[in-house]
Amino acid sequence: MRFAHLSLPGFAEPRLAVVDDETAIVVQELFPGAPRFLEELIAGGDERLDRVREAADAGLRHPLAEATYASALLTPPVILAVGLNYAAHSGELGLKTDSTPTVFGLWPNSLAGHDATATWPRSLSESVDYEAELGVIIGAAAKDVSPADALSHVWGYTVVNDITARDIQYSEAQWSRCKSFDGFTPTGPVVVTADEIPDPQDLHIWTVLDGKTLQDASTNQMVRPVATLISHLSKSATLLPGTLISTGSPGGAGYSRDPQVFLRDRSTVTVGIDGIGALTTHCRILD
């Protein structure tokens, strides 16, 4: 199934919906006590998801054209990002892929939805870059799990654009701030349940900036596969239901190009993963 948080006529705030290409079924309308947000659906486990599946066929359908998207997750317990997880990307940035994953947190204010506009002051950065990434959402809590069992803890997958102010990234010892401006972590448009993605290491991942393809790769190029990342992270801390893990970006970043390519005022950038979706962000630079 495919889920999204949508703002629709008649609803005061975004609500969880089952979506297809043209319509949306608001989950809250399916039965008394139905979840309003994805985090509530995940917390209900397989039983709650099964009930939503059964009820959705009879649900009231809203035109998707009337909707606007919020972030795929609204209140994840934590957003974990993995850096340097594709050899081509670490090489082009002039950074070394360490023997263990490079992990950092992203701030919740950075979350944004599909087709949103990211704004930032020119005085803070004129070197803002794109990074297409596979987002992994934890379902059942994971603590000290093996790689063989790790994918059984995945609830679903989404698309993430890990937007990055490169000048700040290279001037500070940590990476959270340069990637956590307001709106710098767009997610979505949808979350696809794990049963629809049989192999997260066999997905085409790409970026188109202002009509030009700049990233074009496969998740099979990850240095550490999704299962390995989950296992590693779960050894030191329990990965709670709803945790979002952004698993790194392939080669093709704008920073490494000659000449360099950055997000400009009025740029439109779309990052996508075949089988999941295409996530668009509009850019405005404030003087």
DSSP string, 63-117: EGGG-EE--S-SS-S-EEEEES-BHHHHHHTT----SS-EEEE--GGGEE-TTEE
Residues near 230 by Cβ (< 8 Å), separated by ≥ 6?
Answer: 136, 138, 142, 145, 147, 150, 151, 153, 154, 239, 245
Separation in Å, CA 201 to CA 104, 225, 230, 261? 22, 7, 14, 28
What separation in angstroms does the CA of 113 have from each of 25, 72, 249? 18, 7, 19
pLDDT of residue 94: 74
Count CA within 13 A, CB hemisphere, residue 265. 7
Please report the pLDDT score of residue 93 as a whole number: 75
pLDDT of residue 161: 98
- Report the number of secondary-structure helices (H) and strands (E) in the chain: 6, 19
* Domain residue limits, the chain: 2-69, 79-286
Beta bridge partners of 24: 19, 62
Please tell me the class of the 79-286 domain: alpha beta
Report yes or no: 56 and 35 within 8 Å, Cβ to Cβ: no
**Partners of 219 in the β-ladder:** none
Is residue 84 within 8 A of residue 95, CB to CB? The reply is yes
Q: What is the DSSP-derived secondary structure letter of residue 61?
A: E
Q: What is the pLDDT of residue 99?
A: 74
> Count of CB atoms within 10 A of residue 66's CB?
12
H or E segment at 231? helix 226-236
**pLDDT computed for residue 96 by the predictor:** 66
pLDDT tens digits in sequence order for the chain, 287 residues long: 999 999 999 898 999 999 999 999 999 999 999 999 999 999 999 999 999 999 999 999 999 999 999 999 999 999 999 998 998 766 777 776 667 889 999 999 999 999 999 999 999 999 999 999 999 999 999 999 999 999 999 999 999 999 999 999 999 999 999 999 999 999 999 999 999 999 999 999 999 999 999 999 999 999 999 999 999 999 999 999 999 999 999 999 999 899 999 999 999 999 999 999 999 999 999 99
Alpha-carbon distance 200 to 195, whole Å? 11
Place of tokens 């939805």: 113
Strand partners, 2: 192
CA angle 271/136/104 to nearest 5° reads 85
Calpha distance 116→84 (Å, rounded): 27
The two structure tokens encoding residue 161: 């654009």
18 near 59, Cβ under 8 Å? yes
pTM: 0.96
